[in-house]
Structure 1
Amino acid sequence: MKKITVIIFSLLLLVGCSQSNVQQNTKLEESIHSIVEDKNISEININSLTNFDWDKAFLFAPYTTQESIEEQLGVDFKDPSKIDIRDDIYLLVFLNGKKVVHYAEVNRQQYDFSIGEKEYLTPSNDSINIDR
């Protein structure tokens, strides 16, 4: 019985820690904030601001639900920003393969952001439009 309890506890611990390596990228947030402050810039090229491996990035608008985020990502990701109840940020989530590797809370600064008709960004197609 003791072995079963240890195994169950270990599994629960692993499940609970599955996102522990997902980092909020505050440096990226600061870089984006600086770019948005420049009123002459209307586009952000995300790949030039990252220093980690990623192959897809999703931009989620204010009030996006947890279910919608996970559906679009195709993986489990518990949104730490609580964007489903916020209108002051966009959430940018980076995947490498089938794993979330970083996320950034993009301060709206009174503007909206879009990626056009794309479903997600890639390192070679990485532009976010600033709708001023």
Structure 2
Amino acid sequence: MKTKALIWLYGAVLIFISLFTFWGFSSEMGVEKAGKILGEQMNSKMSESPGEEVHLSEIAQFNWDTVYIAHPYSNLDKIEKELDINLNEVQFTQIDQRDDVCLLLFIDDKKLIKPILVPRHIFDFSKEKSGIITRDKAIFFKKSTRAQLVENN
């Protein structure tokens, strides 16, 4: 009787650990996949209409009022203090150790809504100043071979 109970307990623990690991892995994959899609859509919009403005809100069509662009090697602890929000859920991105991606933190009402890792080879946000951009100011245009944030909107 005791053996059956232990087997059931071990089985339940194993299932719990498997589900928890899968959930964490799938959320990381979602952040990476979303970044590729967003970057490809930015490139596509800019290729369709060179010289035209591209509003990030047209591509990121969910609720957000600001976006924070974090460059490669950004320190999440400093960003967390600057934004006064908890960024524990994006620690896995290891942005402080990577140079191949930029991290976009979409925020609404001082809450992190969606973190997105954008590969720099698809769309390079690192040419822009790191920091907070309001939704109405998150407008880019193609300048020669790269995108640039529209200033003084």
Relative to the length of structure 1, the TM-score reads 0.65
Higher alpha-carbon Rg: 2
CA contact (8 A) 2:36 2:122 kept: no
2:60 paired residue among 29, 50, 62: 50
Write out the 4+ residue segments of structure 1 that deviate beyond 6 Å after TM superposition. Answer: none
Distance 2:37 2:61 in 1: 14
Task: Tell me the equivalent position of 1:87.
Answer: 99
Structure 1 residue 27: deviation in Å?
3.9
**Which one has a larger percent helix, Structure 1 or Structure 2?**
2
Cα distance in 2 for partners of 1:92, 1:111 equals 12
TM norm structure 2: 0.57
Residue 38 (structure 1) shift: 7.7
CA distance in 2, matches of 1:44, 1:28: 17
Quote the Cα distance in structure 2 between the aligned partners of 1:81 and 1:44: 26
Among all aligned residue pairs of Structure 1 and Structure 2, give the percentage whose two residues are the same amino acid.
23
Size of the aligned set, in residue pairs, is 111
- C-alpha change, 1:129 and 1:88, in structure 2 (3 Å) is farther
Query: Is the Cα contact below 8 Å between 2:34 and 2:117 reproduced in 1?
Result: no
Q: In structure 1, what residue type is equivalent to 2:93?
A: S
Distance 1:51 1:123 in 2: 11
Measured in 2, the distance between the counterparts of 1:54 and 1:28 equals 16
Post-superposition offset of 1:54 = 0.6
How is 1:57-76 mapped onto 2 (pairs within 5 angstroms)? Answer: 57-76=67-86
- AA partner of residue 30 (structure 1): I
Inter-partner Cα distance in structure 2 for 1:104 and 1:74: 19
| Displacement after TM superposition at 1:57 (Å) | 0.5
Match of residue 36, structure 2, among 29, 35, 39? 29
Q: 1:34 to 1:52 in 2, by over 3 A?
A: closer
**Runs of at least 5 residues in structure 2 that lack an aligned partner in the other structure:** 1-23, 147-153
1:108 aligns with 2:115: no
User: C-alpha separation between the residues in 2 aligned to 1:111 and 1:26?
Assistant: 13
Superposition deviation, residue 108 in structure 1: 0.3
Please give the alpha-carbon distance, in whole angstroms, between the structure 1 residues aligned to 2:63 and 2:122: 30
3-state secondary structure, aligned to 2:135: coil
Per-residue deviation, 1:62? 0.2
